[in-house]
Structure 1
Amino acid sequence: MAKRIYVAYTGGTIGMKPTDSGYAPGDNLMALLSEKLPADVMKSLPEFELFEYEQLIDSSNIRPDNWKQIASDIAARYEDYDGFVVLHGTDTMAYSCSMMSFMLQNLNKPVIFTGSQIPLCEARTDGLENFVGALSVATDDRIKEVCLYFNGRLMRGNRSRKLNAYWFDAFDSPNYPWLGRADIHIELNEQLLWQSQGKETFLLDCDSDPHVLPLCLFPGITAQWLETAFQQPYSAFILRTYGTGNGPDQDQELLKVLTDASAKGKVIVNQTQCHRGTVRQGSYAAGSALARTGMVSGYDATPEALFCKLHHLFSMGMSPKQVREQIGINLCGELSQ
């Protein structure tokens, strides 16, 4: 029996059209695909149904409510289709992939995100290859997770990052190998694919207001600056530190601010500023000092995955203590443990 794929068009560059202010989301994507793909090529593609969201967005405008819409959309149609493709803007695609992996756990069908760097309306668009490639991998029964397909690379969604604004190789997976590669044939690294831990679990709670504030250490950062940040109405803070999770351990005032914030129930997660690597808070004295303040390690999770995991956990109603415990648990392939 032929596979049926559901395609959710949420907006993004792939369907954009030129305006006086630059590219902006455009509607009627199916007509554009039919114009670009000859009829015989269209017939050779997996059977798909394209649903165009009423409010198309540039992904720079993504909000948690959009994540709830996408996850709920897939959950409502889960039994009716064999796989899912989400057409999404590239700027925040890694966030949305990550969030879907937490909201749609233990999948037994593929959910594939893709988009383009150049719109379909342009001659040199990369959108056709990305669309056709995503459709193809969305029919593969071996894939049971949220993935990102782009420029021939298949990556775990919650391991992916947008690393280049100008290359077709826009995305990579810094701390985890690619799941597959599309050349003449589509080759999967089957041993790397996520194996579902049980029955599908759709956790669709996603609060409208963010719970997480990312912060970044910088040379000369002061305790007063950090204290002001911790006064903001957020439940969790991602502190991007140096190297393997190090910070200014000689600044006792700053360490006290961190300690006091943790004692007051703020969840502070230690994440490296490095593109690749993991946090090991005990590798250096400068990291051990941060661990003693109550900070918890974010290990090798991407900034996008960590942000979404924290938002997801607090949206589920967990206490700060429960969230701290869950940060080190590999829920859906976001950590190397």
Structure 2
Amino acid sequence: MSKKILVIYTGGTIGMQASDSGYVAVPGFEQLLRNRLDNSHHALLPEFEVLEYEQLIDSANLRPDNWRQIASSISDNYARYDGFIVLHGTDTMAFTASALSFMLQGLGKPVILTGSQIPLSQLRNDALDNMITALLLAGESRPVNEVCVYFNGRLLRGNRASKVKATGLDAFDSPNFPWLGQVGIHIELHRQLLIQPAAEKFQIPEFDPAAVAILQIYPGMPATTAAAIINQPGVRAVIIQSYGVGNLPDADAELIAVLREAAAGGIQLLNLSRCLQAQVSQGAYACSAVLNEIGVISGGDMTLEAAFAKLHLLLATESDPQAMREQLQRSLAGEISLD
């Protein structure tokens, strides 16, 4: 039986056209796509329909409310389709993939995000291959039942993906987790890595865009800078981007005092490494031992995108601070490696 796929076009480079002010999102993507597919073996592709947003999103303008919009498009149409493709701009694709993985836990159908570095409207582009392969993956007879990013031959767990190149066609990678599959002459899926279907737990809450802030540690950073970020109105959680395996300047008593005060005031502090490949280990060096004392939570090997989206979801759905701390250190959708 042929699969039926819903393609959700949210905007992004894949559907843009050149203008005097640079590439801009324009309506009418479905017709452009079908015109391009007329020159390919489109009869071998699964049947698909396109849902194009009336207000297209340049992904640099993405806000947490857009996650809710996309998740609702999937949830509202979940019973009618066998899989979903979300066409999205590359700049914030990994944030959206992470958010969807937490909002749509227990998926029994594939949700694949893709896009391109060169618009489909251009003669030479990566858009058509990404689109065709995403359709084939979404229509697999043994479906990949999780949120993924497919880009340039790589199938990645959505909440493990990061954009690592601004102009290379291999824009995305999964620095702390193996690829779920690779596409060359053949499509090779590593099924032992896939999340197994479970009871569906779809949560599509209202988000407060001010709730999560990011504090990147750098040499000589004044404590007043950290305080200004942490004490912004509405901030309830802060991601600390520290050095190496979770280190920060413990000799800076004023900075430590700012973090201690924030934790005592109920702000959730989550420690991630600035390194692309890393596993936070608070206390491995003496300069990070104080974080355990303060109550800073180790983010393990989560990506910044996954941690940001996970905090937003938990702040929107969990009222018990201790339960939130516990869930931050658990794997909700394969986003963190556990010892």
Report the more deviating stretch, 315-324 or 137-146: 315-324
My pick for the range that moved more, 134-143 or 164-173, is 134-143
User: Which whole-Å deviations, capped at 9, do the CAs of 1:27-73 have from their partners, x for residues lacking one?
Assistant: 11111112222266222211101111111111111111111110011
SS of the residue aligned with 1:54?
coil
Corresponding residue for residue 163 of structure 2? 162
Aligned position for 1:296: 297
The farther-off stretch of 66-75 and 253-262 is 253-262
Identity of aligned residues (%): 51
Q: Is the 8 A contact 1:239 1:271 kept in 2?
A: yes
Contact 2:236 2:268 in 1 (8 A): yes
Mapped to 2, the partners of 1:127 and 1:39 lie a distance apart of 14
What per-residue deviation string (whole Å, max 9, x for no partner) do you get for residues 225-247 of structure 1?
22222211200000100110001
The structural deviation recorded for 1:252 is 2.0
Identify unmatched segments of 5+ residues in structure 1. Answer: none
**In the aligned structure 2, how far is the partner of 1:28 from the partner of 1:65?**
24
Mapped pair 1:322 → 2:292: no
Whether 1:121 and 2:121 are equivalent positions in the alignment is: yes
Alignment of 1:254-293 (within 5 A): 254-293=255-294
Contact 2:318–2:324 (Cα < 8 Å) also in 1: no
Amino acid corresponding to residue 265 of structure 1 in structure 2: G
Query: CA separation in 2, counterparts of 1:210 and 1:202?
Result: 23
Paired residue for 1:202?
Answer: 202
> What SS does the corresponding residue of 1:133 show, helix, strand or coil?
helix
The two structures have a TM-score, normalised by structure 2, of 0.97
Pairing 1:219–2:181 present: no
Which residue of 2 is the match for residue 189 of structure 1?
190
SS in 2 for 1:119: coil
Cα shift readout 1:66-106 (whole Å, capped 9, x = no counterpart):
11110011011111111110000000000000000000001
Structure 2 counterpart of 1:174: 175
Q: Deviations over 1:296-321 (max 9, x none)?
A: 10110000000000000011143333
Q: Could you tell which deviates more after superposition, 260-269 or 215-224?
A: 215-224
Q: What SS does the aligned partner of 2:229 have?
A: helix
Structure 1 position 15 matched with structure 2 position 20: no
Amino acid at match of 1:27: P
- CA drift of 1:175 comes to 0.2
Offset at 1:160? 0.2
Displacement of 1:250 in angstroms is 1.4
More deviation in 263-272 or 209-218?
209-218
Report matched runs for 1:42-121 at 5 Å. Answer: 42-121=42-121
**Structure-1 residue corresponding to 2:228:** 228
CA contact (8 A) 1:64 1:210 kept: no
Query: C-alpha offsets along residues 113-148 of structure 1, whole Å, 9 cap, x if unaligned?
Result: 000000001011100000001011111234110000
> CA shift at 1:208, angstroms?
4.4
Give the drift of 1:200.
1.1
Answer whether contact 1:247 1:290 (CA < 8 A) is retained. no
